[in-house]
């Protein structure tokens, strides 16, 4: 697990250079990287008129932070390949960028910083986010990328479309290798699966970028994910029927745990394990001559298997799966045990539990994403011996635990939690996700609201039983608590994750 301090971000802490034929692939769900045209399916991104809404200046902050995470590769030059989730589909077709090289040439005398501030105009507002991100990379020493993005059928996207929120996003690939072919595979109620073939050191390398239906534990959503998985499985079967030794990487946000069948047995047949065939026996994939998929989460100790957090549980929604061709001695080969999670301590993490520092539109905007990026290394080999196989060291086994790892909220100590102050509240984007000790007065019951340090904040808990107790608290009562600072639907709030976080229960005035 990469744990870096901010001062080391530009050092060679993660040398993933292409020397010797090695290169890196990163998969990154960037959480709503929307453009600046104010046409969006989410209210917070459709207008910059509210303090909690998106704006070109906040877009710039988000682009800067994405680059900051990726600069930890190759001494600041960035990974050779980045597979992105959650780029906004371009709702301003009049400013679509078809030729990225020509786009960069036309804006060579300026920078994204100026384009999104002093030079902002309607044309720049309408530019798709992949063009703006590419331009920022070029401005800051992360050059040489070709770009390709997924598509959706005409008329199926936009704020008024059916399933608009599902169709808000597209997948994308940034590659320093030549992109030779791109296909986009529609799949029910999810983003199109992006298939990209590259020439890595002169060898074809195919990547499938996925972003499946959300709500990992939901039965109805799993039914849709099975269809997403079948779309991918059918295409993989065609690829491997044509070439059993094809070098293929399957990656993206599957909105499933790598051990979905063990974690949620109530789902029955699961998309990622049963339909797609993701599994943890590395030896079987390394020696196979079919479309076997080895899930790289099994490369890490169980305690390090996490890329996201929800309701106090660690998850593994971001995944990479390798195929038998990546274990032979021809073309592209997986670098054994190179899978990792890009955790930059104090940079893209927040609070004592080091959860992802997710993006927020609060204040001036800040944060990264609700997912940590994941990465792996590959190499090109010239031996041309498809029958010879890589012999994995410490091969992964089917050791999937039956439940998600929980965050140890009980370990939080009130005497080590900072006191919430009005000075901190003045810059909410800087403290989003941090945990504070606070004292306040209940001012409203529906919704449950309290005044803390002169500000009004909602109160919430993910614990249903605790929420019922909280709704019975008296108006005017005094409360002392430990709370996670967050925002819900444009309103700032504190989340009380555990009953032990309530240090003094509110009482009626005079009690």
Question: According to the model, what pLDDT value does residue 208 have?
Answer: 98
Query: How deeply is 185 buried, as exposed, middle or buried, from its count of CB atoms within 10 A (0-12, 13-18, 19+)?
Result: middle
Question: According to the model, what pLDDT value does residue 164 have?
Answer: 52
Question: According to the model, what pLDDT value does residue 430 have?
Answer: 96
Q: What share of the chain is helix, strand, coil (3-state, %, to 5)?
A: 25, 30, 40
- H or E element in which residue 133 lies: helix 129-139
Question: According to the model, what pLDDT value does residue 210 have?
Answer: 98
Question: According to the model, what pLDDT value does residue 47 have?
Answer: 76
**Region of residue 284 (left: phi > 0; alpha: psi -120 to 50; beta: else):** alpha
Cis peptide bond N-terminal to 304, omega within 30: no
179-185 and 193-200 as β-strands: parallel, antiparallel, unpaired?
antiparallel
* Count of C-beta atoms within a 10 Å radius of residue 510: 5
Structural domain spans, the chain: 20-389, 409-504
Query: How deeply is 292 buried, as exposed, middle or buried, from its count of CB atoms within 10 A (0-12, 13-18, 19+)?
Result: buried
Terminal Cα distance for the chain, rounded: 51
> What CATH number matches the domain at 20-389, 3.30.470.20, 3.40.50.2300, 3.60.10.10, 3.40.640.10?
3.60.10.10
Output the pTM of the full model. Answer: 0.93
**Region of residue 363 (left: phi > 0; alpha: psi -120 to 50; beta: else):** left
Separation in Å, CA 230 to CA 23, 179, 278 = 30, 26, 12
Round to whole Å and give the CA distance between 22 and 19. 6
Dihedral, 69, 72, 74, 79 alpha carbons, nearest 10 = -30
Round to whole Å and give the CA distance between 319 and 256. 9
- H or E element in which residue 32 lies: strand 22-33
Q: Are 477 and 442 in contact (CB under 8 A)?
A: yes
CA angle 69, 75, 81 (to 5 degrees): 60
Question: According to the model, what pLDDT value does residue 4 have?
Answer: 41
DSSP per-residue string spanning 191-207: PPEEEEEEEETTEEEEE
Q: Are 149 and 171 in contact (CB under 8 A)?
A: yes
Phi then psi for 304, rounded to 5 degrees?
Answer: -105, 10
Structure confidence by residue, pLDDT tens digits, 404-429: 999 988 778 777 899 999 999 999 99
> What CATH number matches the domain at 409-504, 3.20.20.30, 3.40.50.300, 2.40.50.140, 3.40.470.10?
2.40.50.140
Residues of the chain with confidence (pLDDT) below 70: 1-20, 152-166, 508-511
Phi then psi for 377, rounded to 5 degrees?
Answer: -110, 150
Round to whole Å and give the CA distance between 376 and 340. 6
CA angle 259, 486, 44 (to 5 degrees): 95
Residue closest to 84 by CA, chosen among 376, 373, 377, 379? 373
Question: According to the model, what pLDDT value does residue 15 have?
Answer: 35
Residue closest to 195 by CA, chosen among 187, 78, 341, 308? 187
Structure confidence by residue, pLDDT tens digits, 78-105: 999 999 999 999 888 888 899 999 999 9
Tokens of 274: 């049963």
């Amino acid at each position: 697990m990469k744990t870096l301090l901010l001062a080391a971000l530009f050092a060679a802490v993660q040398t993933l250079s292409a020397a010797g034929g090695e290169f890196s692939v990163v998969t990154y769900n960037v959480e709503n990287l929307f453009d600046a045209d104010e046409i969006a399916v989410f209210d917070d991104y459709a207008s910059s008129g509210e303090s909690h809404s998106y704006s070109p200046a906040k877009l710039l902050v988000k682009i800067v932070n994405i680059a900051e995470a990726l600069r930890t590769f190759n001494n600041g030059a960035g990974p050779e390949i980045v597979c992105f989730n959650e780029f906004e589909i371009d709702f301003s077709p009049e400013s679509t960028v078809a030729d990225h090289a020509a786009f960069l040439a036309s804006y060579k005398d300026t920078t994204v910083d100026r384009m999104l501030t002093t030079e902002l105009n309607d044309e720049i507002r309408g530019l798709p986010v992949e063009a703006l991100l590419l331009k920022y990379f070029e401005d800051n020493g992360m050059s040489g990328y070709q770009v390709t993005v997924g598509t959706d059928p005409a008329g199926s996207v936009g704020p008024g479309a059916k399933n608009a929120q599902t169709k808000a996003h597209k997948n994308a690939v940034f590659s320093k290798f030549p992109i030779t072919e791109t296909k986009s595979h529609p799949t029910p109620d999810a983003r199109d699966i992006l298939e990209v073939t590259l020439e890595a050191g002169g060898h074809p390398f195919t990547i499938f970028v996925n972003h499946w239906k959300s709500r990992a534990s939901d039965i109805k959503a799993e039914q849709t994910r099975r269809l997403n998985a079948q779309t991918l499985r059918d295409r993989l079967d065609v690829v491997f029927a044509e070439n059993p030794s094809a070098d293929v990487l399957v990656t993206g946000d599957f909105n499933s745990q790598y051990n979905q069948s063990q974690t949620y047995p109530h789902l029955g047949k699961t998309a990622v394990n049963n339909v797609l065939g993701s599994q943890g026996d590395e030896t079987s994939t390394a020696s196979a001559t079919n479309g076997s998929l080895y899930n790289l989460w099994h490369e890490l100790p169980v305690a390090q298997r996490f890329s996201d957090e929800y309701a106090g549980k660690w998850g593994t929604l971001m995944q990479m799966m390798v195929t038998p061709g990546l274990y032979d001695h021809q073309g592209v080969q997986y670098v054994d045990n190179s899978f990792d999670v890009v955790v930059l301590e104090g940079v893209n993490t927040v609070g004592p539990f080091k959860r992802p520092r997710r993006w927020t539109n609060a204040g001036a905007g800040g944060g990264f994403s609700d997912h940590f990026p994941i990465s792996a290394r590959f190499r090109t080999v010239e031996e041309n011996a498809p029958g010879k196989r890589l012999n994995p060291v410490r091969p992964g086994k089917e050791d999937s635990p039956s439940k998600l790892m929980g965050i140890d909220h009980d370990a939080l100590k009130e005497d080590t939690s900072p006191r919430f102050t009005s000075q901190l509240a003045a810059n909410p984007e800087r403290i989003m996700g941090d945990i504070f000790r606070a004292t306040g007065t209940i001012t409203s019951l529906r919704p449950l609201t309290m005044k803390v340090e002169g500000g009004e904040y909602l109160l919430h808990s993910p614990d249903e039983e605790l929420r019922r107790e909280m709704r019975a608290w008296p108006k005017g009562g005094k409360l002392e608590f430990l709370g996670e600072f967050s925002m819900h639907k444009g309103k700032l709030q504190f989340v009380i994750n555990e009953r032990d976080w309530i240090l003094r229960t509110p009482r009626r005035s005079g009690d």
